[in-house]
């Protein structure tokens, strides 16, 4: 069954104490109102992951990382492996966020390796894709997203692919306050689902969660999530405030 997911990408924000407070506030809000569908996920910075997994242990909140090394283990100073993430009980990891593609030059080939290493350690990749504003203006946004997905995901067999979550995040909407319209989001999500159908068949296409990301907030979430192919959101700025994030989680 296709899962609805609202995932928060905290990026490089919050002190340890602030992280603890935010998780506490979310747990309070969730106390009597937690649902299995949608699933709430928080993707915290690395130093707070264990705190987050401990604090949310008995709740319906899942925890994810924002990055992973493509290597299994060894002399890679500063890196964090998928087996380490698995050993603290993580369920998800964001891969291919546009900030990592841009500032850390992450290529489709590298992202493919990161997807593989995560799946090998039973962590679901939240794979981000999306076009730049110039690419939309040139009307090549469908080609861009198709290439990103094909190059980093379509080597997977059907069983492995079914563990991937896709997040469509038009780069021009991330952190800008400019959201894709509900129509633009639905159009791209339906396109992505159709790509999956061509590659893996209708059943797999219907089972994959495709999230929208890019200035999604407490005001516009309901309209975006009402689209038949939008299965939730990857939320940046608005995930840093418990009330806003909880409101988005309740917007189905």
Which positions are annotated as active-site residues?
97, 169
Alpha-carbon span 16 to 98, nearest angstrom:
25
- Of 144, 174, 196, 208, the one binding ligand PEP (CB under 6 A) is 174
CB contact set of 211 (below 8 Å; sequence gap of 6+): 5, 7, 126, 165, 166, 167, 168, 230, 231, 232, 233, 234
Q: Is 122 in a helix, a strand, or coil? A: coil
CB contact set of 87 (below 8 Å; sequence gap of 6+): none
Is 230 a residue that touches ligand PEP (CB under 6 A)? Answer: no
Alpha-carbon span 218 to 241, nearest angstrom:
11
Task: Give CA 67 to chain center in angstroms.
Answer: 11
Cβ-based nearer residue to ligand PEP, 38 or 236 = 236
The single-letter DSSP state of residue 31 is T
Is 178 a residue that touches ligand PEP (CB under 6 A)? Answer: no
Cβ-based nearer residue to ligand PEP, 200 or 215 = 215
Alpha-carbon span 143 to 24, nearest angstrom:
42
Burial of 73 (0-12, 13-18, 19+ CB in 10 A): exposed
Alpha-carbon span 61 to 54, nearest angstrom:
11
- Of 26, 40, 235, 248, the one binding ligand PEP (CB under 6 A) is 235
Contact string 119-158 vs ligand PEP (x = CB under 6 A) = ----------------------------------------
Size of the residue set binding ligand PEP (CB under 6 A): 13
Choose among 234, 136, 235, 238: nearest CA to 188: 136
**Minimum CB–partner distance for residue 211 and ligand PEP (Å):** 9
Q: Which residues, 192 to 221, sit near ligand PEP by CB under 6 A? A: 213-216
- Of 123, 185, 195, 234, the one binding ligand PEP (CB under 6 A) is 234
- Of 16, 155, 175, 206, the one binding ligand PEP (CB under 6 A) is 175
Cβ-based nearer residue to ligand PEP, 10 or 161 = 10
Is 236 a residue that touches ligand PEP (CB under 6 A)? Answer: yes
Q: Which residues, 9 to 48, sit near ligand PEP by CB under 6 A? A: 9
**Minimum CB–partner distance for residue 79 and ligand PEP (Å):** 22
Which parts of this chain interact with ligand PEP (CB under 6 A)? Answer: 9, 169, 174-175, 213-216, 234-238
């Amino acid at each position: 069954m296709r899962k609805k997911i609202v995932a928060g990408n905290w990026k490089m924000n919050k002190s340890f104490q602030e992280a603890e407070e935010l998780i506490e506030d979310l747990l309070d809000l969730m106390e009597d109102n937690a649902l299995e569908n949608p699933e709430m996920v928080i993707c915290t910075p690395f130093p707070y992951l264990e705190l987050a997994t401990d604090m949310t242990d008995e709740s319906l909140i899942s925890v994810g990382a924002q990055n992973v090394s493509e290597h299994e283990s060894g002399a890679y100073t500063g890196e964090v492996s998928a087996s380490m993430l698995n050993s603290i009980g993580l369920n998800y990891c964001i891969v291919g966020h546009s900030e990592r593609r841009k500032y850390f030059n992450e290529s489709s080939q590298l992202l493919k390796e990161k997807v593989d290493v995560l799946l090998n350690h039973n962590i679901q990749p939240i794979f981000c894709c999306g076009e730049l504003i110039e690419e939309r203006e040139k009307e090549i946004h469908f080609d861009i997203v198709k290439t990103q997905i094909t190059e980093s995901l379509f080597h997977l067999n059907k069983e492995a692919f079914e563990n991937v979550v896709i997040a469509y995040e038009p780069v021009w909407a991330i952190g800008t306050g400019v959201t894709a319209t509900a129509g633009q989001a639905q159009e791209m999500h339906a396109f992505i689902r159709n790509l999956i159908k061509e590659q893996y068949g209708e059943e797999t296409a219907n089972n994959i969660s495709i999230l929208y990301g890019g200035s999604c907030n407490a005001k516009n979430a309901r309209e975006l999530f009402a689209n038949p192919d939008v299965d939730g959101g990857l939320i940046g700025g608005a995930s840093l405030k418990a009330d806003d994030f909880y409101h988005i989680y309740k917007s189905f």
